[in-house]
Structure 1
Amino acid sequence: MSTTRTDHMKYLPHMDILSSDMLDDVLLYRNAFHNEDYTDRDVRSALQKDDLSPHDFMALLSTAALPFLEKMAQKAKTVTREHFGNSVALFTPVYFANYCENHCFYCGFNSHNNIKRARLTEEELHTECRSIASTGLEEVLMLTGESRRMSDVEYIGKAVKIARSYFRVIGLEIYPVNVAEYKYLHDCGADYVTVFQETYNSDTYEKLHLAGSKRIFPYRFYAQERAILGGMRGVGFAALLGLDDYQRDAVATGIHAALLQRKYPHAEIALSCPRLRPIINNDKINPKDVDERRLVQIICAYRLFLPFASITVSSRENARFRNNIIKIAATKISAGVCVGIGAHLDAEGTEKGDEQFEISDNRSFSEVYAAVKDAGMQPVTSDYIFV
C-alpha cells in the first residue's frame, strides 16, 4: 500500500509565508557548485583577496583547496584575530524537553525512536539553571524536541523567562515558529535563534524527513528571517555535515548567511559546523566524507567569506580538535555539555530523558575554561551588559 506524504515544498495552513526569493537564490548557488571546476589558480586568487566573492568561497571549499589548507588556516587566524581578538565565548546547552513529532532518520529524538521521553517542570528548570549558573556560565542555548503539543510556545517562553533570571544571554534551538511567536519569545528574554537546515538538497531533505512539520523545507529555510523580523538580535545557520554532499551544503550555508546579513545588516550572524554523530539505537550514523581535515577547510572558508560571523564548534567534536580550532577560526565553543533531559538535576547527573546524540567532548566548564587559557586565548562567559 502506498503512503501519501505531505508535499515537502508546500506550507501548512498555520505557517507564515514570507515574500522572498532568497531560497531560490541559495539553491541556485548550491547547484552551480561543481567541485571539478575549481583549480589551484582559483584557490590562489581567493587567498589573495580580503573580500571574497561567492566564486572565491566555492573555490576554498573545493578539493583543489586542500593542498592550501595551511595557508587557509594562517589567513583565517589573522582574520579572526582582527575581528575577535583572542576571545572565545563559552556556553552550554540546556535540553529541557525531548518529545518530538517528526520522523527524521538521523536524530535520536525522532518520534519513531524508542527512547525515554521527558520535559522539565518549572521547578526542575530552576534547579537545572541554578546548577549550571553555579559553575560560572552566563550563556545558555535552550533546546527542545520538535513537538508543539508537548512543548508549545508558551511553555518555551516560560522556560526562557526562568533561564533569563540566571543567565545574561539566552539562545534558542527549537522548532521553527512564526514571526509573532519569535517576537513573544524575544519578549520573554531570548536573544538569538539557531536553526540547522540539515541539508539544502531538497530531494535528500524530503527522503530524510518523512513526517512532521519539519518536513516542510521552505518554512525551515526562512526561520532565521522570521526570527529577525520577530526582534531577535542574532541568528545561527548550519548544515548537518554528512547528510548529503558536504561541499554543496557548506556553499549553501555560507551563501544563506551572507544574503541574510546583507538584507539585515544589524543582525548578528553565526555559523555552526556540526557533523553527524551516533544516536541511541543507531551507532552507524556518522559523517560520510567529512574527516577533520575537511572540517577545518569548511571552517576556514566560512571565516574568510564571512569575517564578522561567529563560528561555533560544539562538543560533537573531540577536545583535541576544539583546543586547536579556537586558535584558528572558531570563536565559540560549548562547555559542561549534557545532551539528555535534566542532567543537572542531581549530583549524579542522572538524566530524566534520553539524549539526542552522543558527544565527543565531556569536559566540565572549568576544564574547558582552563584549556582556552592554556591555548593563549581569553575565555568569555558573556560579552553583553544589560543596563
Structure 2
Amino acid sequence: MSFLDIIQRFDPQQVGADIMACSASDVERALGAERLSDADFMALLSPAAENHLEELARKASRITRRRFGNTILLYAPLYLSNECSNGCRYCGFSADNRLPRRTLAPDEIEAEARVLADQGFQHVLLLTGEAPRAAGVDYLEAAVRRVRPFFSSIGIEVFPMSRQDYARLIAAGVDSLTLYQETYNPELYAEMHPYGRKRDFAWRLEAPERGAAAGMRRIGIGSLLGLGDFRTDAFFTGLHGRYLARHYWRSLLTISFPRLRPADGGFQPRVPVGDRQFVQLICAMRLWLHDAGLVLSTRERAELRDNLLPLGITQMSAGSCTAPGGYAQGEHEGQQFAIDDDRSPAEFAAMLRRRGFDPVWKDWDAAFQPAAGKGAA
C-alpha cells in the first residue's frame, strides 16, 4: 500500500474542519501523550494549541535535545538551472514568468562547488526547475560527478523520477532526495499547476517512495506554507513522514517548513502563516516525529531563525543564493525566491557557537553509501 492509497481515505476539507474543532482539553490530552494519535496531532496543529505554545515548545525542545543533542547540520543549496516547463502559479521559475533563463555549464558548476567547499560546506543540495531538454537526468548525472570531489554528501531537489533514474544518480554520488508535495489537497494542487509534467499529483506524491526504494540515505518532504490551509497540509505532511519512517526505515527522514516568499510572478500567500503559527507547526511536528530532522532555510529572517534553534530545528542552510551562478559570479537575477537571512556561513556558524550549538559541516561520507537499489520496502 502506497501513501497515495492512504491519503485517498481522507477528505481535506473534513480534516481542516476537525482540526479547527479541537478544544483546549484535546490539546492538554495531546501534550500529556508520549506517542500521538492522529487526533492528538490534529489538536497540536489547531488554533486551540496557540494558547499552549510555551508548553508545546518546552516539550519539543526536550525531545530534540534527547535525540540530536545541540548539533545543527549545515548545508548549502546550489542552483544548476532555472529553466522550467511547468506553470506553477506560485514559483519564480514558472514558465509564465519572464526572467533570464540559465543552465550552468560543467565548468560553471565546478566553480560554484569550489566556492561552497571553500566556505566549509560538505553537504550540498543541487536544484533545478523541470526542463528535461535543458537539465534532465543525463545533465544531473554529469553535474553530480563534477561536484562529487568537493562534498561528502550530495542531495537533489529536482523533478520526480523513476526508481531506476534515482538508482542511477545514487551510483553517481547522490545520497539524499528532497521533494515537496507543495500541497496535499488534490483540487488545490490541480489549480496551482495548470500545465506541465508537475500537474501529475500521484507521480509526485509517490516519488519519495521510489527514491527510498532505490536506496536514498535521506528523504526530505514538506509542503508550501501559505499555499492553502497550512494546518491541513501540515497534518498530511506528518502522515506522509510517519508512513515513510515506517515503510522505508533505512532512509533518514527530514521535514522542511518553507513559507512562501516573494518571487517573480507576484503570487501572494492565500493563507499567511504568522510567526506564532510557524513555531507551533515546527513544535507539533517534533512531538509527532521524534527522530525526524527538521529543516529551516534562509527564507526566514535571521532573528526568527536564531530564536527557533532550541525548539526542534536540526538542519539549516546558510549564505544561500537561489539563482544559478549566484556564488561564483554573484548572479541574483532569475532567482526562485528572495532570501531573508543573508549572513555568511562563517557568521552563521559563529552565532551557533555563541548560543551553545555545534555547527556540523559533515556527518556523512560517500564511502559509506551502499549499492543502489537496496532500500527497504
Instruction: Please tell me the TM-score bracket, short chain as reference.
Output: over 0.9
1:356 to 327, 336, 340: 336
User: Residue 59 of structure 2 aligns with which residue?
Assistant: 75
**1:45 CA displacement:** 1.0
Is contact 1:76-1:303 (8 Å) kept? yes
| Partner residue in 1 for 2:355 | 375
Alignment correspondent of 1:299: 282
Match of 1:249 among 233, 236, 252: 233
Matches of 1:278 and 1:231, distance apart in 2? 35
Query: 1-side partners of 2:56 and 2:119: how far apart?
Result: 36
1:301-320 alignment, distance < 5 Å: 301-320=284-303
Q: Does 1:92 pair with 2:73?
A: no
Aligned-partner Cα distance in 2 for 1:280–1:113: 7
Q: CA RMSD in A?
A: 1.3
Alignment size in residue pairs: 364
Partner of 2:314: 331
Query: Matched residues in 2 for 1:22 and 1:305: separation?
Result: 17
Question: Given the alignment, which residue of 144, 149, 165 partners 1:165?
Answer: 149
Cα separation, 1, equivalents of 2:80 and 2:88? 20
1:29–1:252 contact (8 Å) kept in structure 2:
no
Task: Give yes or no for contact 2:324–2:331 (8 Å, CA) kept in 1.
Answer: no
Give the TM-score taking structure 1 as reference length: 0.91
Q: Which residue of 2 aligns with 1:193?
A: 177
Rounded Cα–Cα distance in structure 2 between residues aligned with 1:26 and 1:81 = 32
Amino acid at match of 2:361: T
Give distance in 1, aligned partners of 2:305 and 2:11: 28
Query: 2:5 pairs with 21, 24, 44, which one?
Result: 24
Mean CA deviation greater in 300-309 or 23-32: 23-32
C-alpha distance in 2, partners of 1:375/1:286?
A: 32
Residues 254-312 of structure 1 show CA distances to partners (whole Å, capped at 9, x for unaligned) of 00110111111111100000011111242x52462311110100000110000000000
TM-score when normalising by structure 2: 0.94
Indicate yes or no: 2:349 matched with 1:365. no
Q: Matched residues in 2 for 1:64 and 1:29: separation?
A: 22
Q: Give the ranges of 4+ consecutive aligned residues of structure 1 lying more than 6 Å apart after TM superposition.
A: none
- Encode CA deviations 1:190-214: one digit per residue, 9 max, x unaligned: 1110111111110011011011110
Supply the distance in 2 between the matched residues of 1:92 and 1:287 (Cα, whole angstroms): 29
What letter matches 1:280 in structure 2? D
Structure having the higher helix fraction is: 2
* Paired residue type of 1:363: R
8 A contact 1:27–1:200 mirrored in 2: no
Distance 1:364 1:158 in 2: 29
Structure 2 unmatched ranges of 5 or more: 369-377
Distance in 2, Cα, partners of 1:281 & 1:55: 38
- In structure 1, how many angstroms separate the alpha carbons of the residues matched to 2:299 and 2:197? 26
CA separation of 1:30 and 1:242: change in aligned 2, threshold 3 A: farther
Does the Cα contact within 8 Å between 2:226 and 2:269 map onto a contact in 1? yes
Check whether the contact 1:30–1:251 (CA below 8 A) recurs between aligned residues.
no
Quote the Cα distance in structure 2 between the aligned partners of 1:378 and 1:320. 18
Opposite residue 173 of structure 2, the aligned amino acid is G
Structure 1 counterpart of 2:249: 265
1:133 aligned partner, one-letter code = A
Distance in 2 (alpha carbons) for counterparts of 1:250 and 1:203 = 17
Give 1:229 shift.
1.3
SS of equivalent to 2:80: strand
- Residue 359 of structure 1 and its aligned partner are, at CA, apart by 1.1
Q: Residue 49 of structure 1: CA displacement?
A: 1.6
Equivalent residues of 2:295, 2:314 under 8 A apart: yes
Q: Distance between the aligned counterparts of 2:265 and 2:193, measured in 1?
A: 18
SS in 2 for 1:285: coil
Partners of 2:217 and 2:251 within 8 A in 1: yes
**1:70 and 1:299 mapped to 2: Cα distance?**
13
Letter in 1 for 2:358: Q
| TM superposition shift of 1:27 | 4.4
* Cα separation, partners in 2 of 1:111 and 1:217, compared to 1, 3 Å: same
Alignment partners' CA distance in 2, 1:238 and 1:27: 18
Aligned to 1:17: none
| Native 8 Å contact 2:221 2:254 kept in 1 | yes
Structure 2 residue 103 is the aligned partner of structure 1 residue 103: no
Equivalence for 2:118: 134
Q: Distance in 1 between matches of 2:85 and 2:105?
A: 20
The reply on whether 1:207 has 2:188 as its aligned counterpart is no
How many Å separate the matches in 1 of 2:346 and 2:8? 42
Distance 2:183 2:192 in 1: 9
